Amino acid sequence: MENDLQQGLKAMQIEASGEQQTLLLRFIDLLDKWNKAYNLTAIRNKRDMLPLHILDSLSLLPYLSGAKRVLDIGSGAGLPGIPLAILQPDLQFVLLDSNGKKTRFIKQVIIELKLKNVSVVHDRIEKYLPVENFDCITTRAFATIAETVDMIEHFLQKEARILFMKSNTTEEELAKINTDYSKDVITLNVPGIDAPRTLAVLQKQ
């Protein structure tokens, strides 16, 4: 698994220290262990978790440039938030999910991996009231793009960036977004994943 991780990181041109690689592998171990009891993810094979969860999450790294506070909506088992936080220790991450089992798992991950730049919130996005706004939002198939924007606009900083991870085309969804945002659709190439991965990037004007 260690060699597979190193090869994947190299293919994606991602630099990660030995300690960071160890944390990523420990996260997979924790996910595999807790998944047996809590059904955190449909992926049951640890080896499949590497590309489908870790490398897929890390494909967002280039788009976090300039961010300081990141909110991961519908984080589930901590994806993409935990892998990104491991590789970006200087950024602050808030992982939000309404599922108590999943937020308890994230809390355990934070403790065991000693992640000082991550906090978890057990709440619905409609009810969440952050103390401080965010300059970057990440989400994996949480809701439609328009629905998500409507729910989060009030706590976006000026020129905030929203990253929507999608498995299918997003052009139709993006057409429903107003002109307050610049829009870009990017095809992500993730080692070990044959299915198309699409990233929709909205930048508040």
Computed over every residue of the chain, the mean pLDDT equals 93
Q: What is the mean pLDDT of residues 167-193?
A: 85
Q: DSSP strand E in the chain: where? A: 69-73, 92-97, 118-122, 134-140, 156-166, 181-188, 197-204
CA of residue 174 relative to chain centroid, distance:
20
Q: How confident is the model at residue 169 (pLDDT cuts 50, 70, 90)?
A: low
The pLDDT assigned to 120 comes to: 98
Residue 4 clears pLDDT 70, i.e. is over it: yes
Q: How confident is the model at residue 157 (pLDDT cuts 50, 70, 90)?
A: very high
The pLDDT assigned to 180 comes to: 84
Q: What is the mean pLDDT of residues 15-41?
A: 94
The pTM assigned to this predicted structure is: 0.95
Q: What angle do CA 107, 112, 113 make, to 5 degrees?
A: 100
Which residue range is the domain that position 130 belongs to? 2-204
pLDDT tens for each residue of 35-85: 988 888 888 888 888 999 999 999 999 999 999 999 999 999 999 999 999
Q: How confident is the model at residue 205 (pLDDT cuts 50, 70, 90)?
A: confident
Query: What's the CATH code of the domain at 133?
Result: 3.40.50.150
Please give the tally of structural domains in the chain. Answer: 1
Provide the 10 A C-beta neighbour count for residue 90.
Answer: 6
SS3 76: coil
